Structure 1
Amino acid sequence: MKRPTPASLKRVTPENLARLGPTRLAELLAEVAESRADLKRRLRMELAAEQGPEHLLAEIDRRLTLIGGSRSNVSWRQRPAFVRDLDGLRGLIAGRLAELDGPAAQDRILRVLALAPGVARRVRDKEGAVAAVFARAAEDAGRLLAAADAHEAGASLAEAIAEAPSAWSEWLALALPAAGPDVARAALAGLHARSGPAWTTIRRRLADGAGDLDAYRATFTAEALKTPAVAADLASRLMDAGRLEEARQVLEAAAQPGLFRRARGGRPEPDFDWESAWIDYLEHSGQSDAAQEARWTSFERTLSAARAKAFTARLPDFADVEAEHRIFALAAEAPDPVKGLGLLIDWPAFPEVVRMIEDRADELRLSPEDAERWSAKLRVRYPKAAHTLLRRAAAEAFRRREFATCDRLTKAADALTP
């Protein structure tokens, strides 16, 4: 076994620190804590935990009250220490207190979340560090609620939501996966009297978390259910639940003029997500041939690689090879060469990509993002094609008078010049 070097033994790692022994480590920690108020508070809470949950609770409650009652702004210099302190409090509740007293930990983590509005008024959080602490607290809340009686946990969650609905409309997405459907169902029942636009997102998230498809559907108005995106989402859920006839009715109700949008050139095209849901319905209802026809029709219109792959995946042996040739030919001849090239890149079909770049380079109107992403895939085996893409994108940037972008793309292209 290789012996550790003197340099490696001086690294600050748990293994090396353990060699100092508990007494020396305690002395060093106490010394550092004298200049770090947040660390000193954390150590005091750990010592309180050793005395029992009631002692730890007293320290936690004192800190929660202090943070909740403070009105002074937190300066940018104080912000890092404040964030560490807040996150340390969260971690202590979700970890140490949860081990000692689960119900108390559940109550205190909800109290931590209740601090969010007041903290937001005191702390400028441009980097999102404070928001991240509350996001972790929401995840902790879901885990702690799951460990409690579902009815009681749901009632506690409903009460917390009622106090800060705007914040919980975001946190529910983090808390509910861990909390489970029973807690979500109980919370939804506790908020049944709440109505209005502000509560729609909350009730929808709770219904989704509860797996209550009818309650989820009830959060949409009759007009909203006729919009393609909503109809596609609801129909997909109905199909997952085996309710095919209802899924068909929902999709057909949305097949109104609003389903179509004007594509480039003025041609009406159906909403892509609605069309995906309709194809799924055809497949689920045993209409496989109709589903395949719809996939191909959609591909011809959109040049979607996902549609093409779904189509070829359902073809018998050798028929998929013939279909690929048709797909590549349509991409190469596409009225929009960038869309066709994107399909070939995503497939991937690099020989066809190179051939299309050689044949239609003058027609390409590339964005810098597409040129850089696509050239990165081509640069090793096909540097000339990658060079052409970057040069075309640089020319487009110059035409738009984006000179810094033009210079960047030109330099990248020059680095690939054969």
Structure 2
Amino acid sequence: MARKTLNKKNLVELGADVLAELLLEAVKGDAARQRRVRMVLSADQSPQEAAADVRKRFASIRRSGSFISWKTQKKFAKELTDLVTLIEMRIGSDSPDLAFELLWDLLHLAPGIHERTDDSNGLIGDVMVDAMEAIARISPRITKDPIELAEMIFEALRDNGYGEFDHVVPALAEPLGRSGLERLKALAEEMCAAPLTEAQLEIYDFVSDPERQKELARDRRDHTAKMILQDVADLQGDVDAWLSRYTAEQLTYHTIAPEAAVRLLEAGRAEEALQVVENALDRETHDSAWFDPPELDEAHFACLEALGREEDLRRALWARFERCLCPDALRRLLKRLPDFDDVEAEDRAREVVLSFTPIEAGLAFCLSWPDMALAAQLVLSRYEEIDGGTYEILTPAAEALSSAHPLAAVLIWRSLIEFALERARSSRYGHAARHFDACAAADAAISDYQGHAEHRVFIQDLQNAHARKAAFWGRVAVS
């Protein structure tokens, strides 16, 4: 029986001839698989022969105008991913410059492919990301002239409508070197200073106001130039040039401030980094008190630590825990406290968890910490607040509680069951039936329901309220 198992060992024992016949039979009538086998065969012979086959496939994709339906998109994306792997591993191992040219050509196929398919699921975009990451991995072995490479990158970024060339500058930082980065910087600065071209204006020819048309075209052009300049500044360690891309207001955004702070810290400018973070935190406090910005908080902690402001750091860690029950912040705080103070702080933290709203956040903390005794206390004291729709938290919580705290587990399962039946969520009846069986199994381990309905009473109440939910009752056994 073991010899019939489809695994590598058993297949190898069949021998090359048998495997070749099976492979030919498997790829018969499947053009995509046939292409893949041919490319593997040619790659095994020489990088140049493999490259010739890859280029033929690229040419075929470039010529095609047919729409790629969602049914065929996955297979097409898989083929492109296989091409990226083949180029990097089989061609790039011996001929990195040739592999780079092929990956570059693949990225240039992106606009035509996007125009022929709906990539709302991001499959094609992911392939282009994979191609750029492959370029980054082979870039240390690329021998292209830095100035020529800079000009290639600049032209690609000028027409980067689908973002396929995003991150190309850091990906090719090593072969660009100092001279290539300086050339790229000069090209971007020249573009900002040059008059708008007709081609740049034509993109917004639907705008009737000429001044507005120029403004939009200029913003688009300058955005590209500033992105290039920022990447160059990053690679040259010029933090001020990186910061200059943003206005003072933009540096208060939670999406930008953490990156700015990290760069300032790396440059040994911790006070400035802290000011950036504090400005951003002040903005978040006023604009969206409910919002949780973990990256901004992390930057805040790093700034305080760099400045040796231990007490402020402890307060910041506690504030993050108190605001969103962040277990990592609490762990870090406890490690920074002297003996006995950490015990007192952990007791205070438990009180925060027991009163935190919503209760599901408290349960999530207890799972992560972990502290299932605290979770049981939370459930027993605030059962009525449980939202049975939050099954992604409640299900693992009940399972974790079931052995040592069966009553708490049963109360959670009941909330899940009642939610499914009260909302007539028939798609969840199967889950509800399993929870029902779990309640029945746990009943024997519960000697005191502490004021909650015993299992037989719960069943009766459920039958009275939902007698007509036959789709549910047909899945459970009621004695």
Kindly indicate whether residue 239 of structure 2 is the aligned counterpart of residue 218 of structure 1: no
- Out of 158, 161, 165, the position equivalent to 1:162 is 158
Change over 3 Å in CA distance of 1:357–1:137 after alignment to 2: same
Question: Map of 1:187-336 to 2, 5 A cutoff?
Answer: 189=185, 192-193=188-189, 196=219, 199=224, 213-254=239-280, 256=282, 259-261=285-287, 263=289, 274-334=296-356
> Could you tell me how far 1:288 is from its partner in structure 2?
0.7
| Residue of structure 1 equivalent to 2:414 | 391
Quote how far apart the aligned CAs of 1:110 are: 0.8
C-alpha change, 1:217 and 1:21, in structure 2 (3 Å) is same
Number of corresponding residues: 404
CA shift for structure 1 position 354: 1.4
Alpha-carbon contact 1:68-1:115 (below 8 Å) kept? yes
1:411 aligned partner, one-letter code = A
Q: Look up the SS of the partner of 1:380 in the other structure.
A: coil
Structure 1 CA distance for aligned equivalents of residues 401 and 129 of structure 2: 40
| Native 8 Å contact 2:413 2:436 kept in 1 | no
2:373 maps to what in 1?
351
Q: Offset at 1:235?
A: 1.5
Moved more, 113-122 or 358-367: 358-367
Point out 4+ residue stretches in structure 1 off by more than 6 angstroms: 175-178, 269-272
Cα 1:229–1:145, aligned 2, differ >3 Å: closer, same or farther?
A: closer
Matches within 5 A, 1:34-49: 35-45=29-39, 48=42
- The answer to whether 1:61 aligns with 2:72 is no
Tell me how far 1:111 sits from its aligned partner: 0.3
Question: How far off is 1:22 after superposition?
Answer: 4.8
Q: Aligned partners of 1:340 and 1:88: how far apart in 2?
A: 45
Structure 2 residue aligned with 1:372? 395
Identity %: 28
Within 1, Cα distance between the matches of 2:296 and 2:14? 65
Contact 1:296–1:311, Cα closer than 8 Å, also in 2: yes
Moved more, 307-316 or 386-395: 386-395
User: Distance in 2 between the 1:22 and 1:190 partners?
Assistant: 58
Aligned residue type for 2:245: T
> Contact 1:394–1:405 (CA<8 Å) still a contact in 2?
no
* TM-score relative to the length of structure 2: 0.69
Structure 1-normalised TM-score?
Answer: 0.77
Report the Cα offset of residue 107 of structure 1.
Answer: 0.6
Maintained 8 Å contact 1:227/1:259: no
Deviates more, 1:135-144 or 1:50-59: 50-59
CA distance in 2, matches of 1:249, 1:45: 56
- Unaligned 5+ runs, structure 1: 1-6
Partner-residue secondary structure (3-state), 2:163: helix
Task: Name the counterpart of 1:120.
Answer: 114
Q: How does 1:79-118 map to 2 (within 5 A)?
A: 82-83=76-77, 85-118=79-112
What is the root-mean-square deviation in Å for CA atoms of aligned residues? 4.0
Q: Deviations over 1:322-361 (max 9, x none)?
A: 2211221232244654444444443222212212322222
- Label 1:290 to 1:168 Cα distance change in 2 as closer, same or farther (>3 A): same
Per the TM alignment, residue 75 of structure 1 is displaced from its structure 2 partner at its CA by 5.6
| Whole-Å separation in 1 of the counterparts to 2:121 and 2:357 | 44
Query: Equivalent of 1:135, from 118, 129, 135?
Result: 129
Q: Which runs of 5+ in 2 are unaligned?
A: 193-218, 444-479
Q: State whether residues 361 and 388 of structure 1, in contact with CA within 8 Å, keep that contact through their aligned partners in structure 2.
A: yes
Equivalent position of 2:405 in the other structure: 382
**Structure 1 residues 394 and 251, CA, compared in 2 at 3 Å: closer, same or farther?**
same
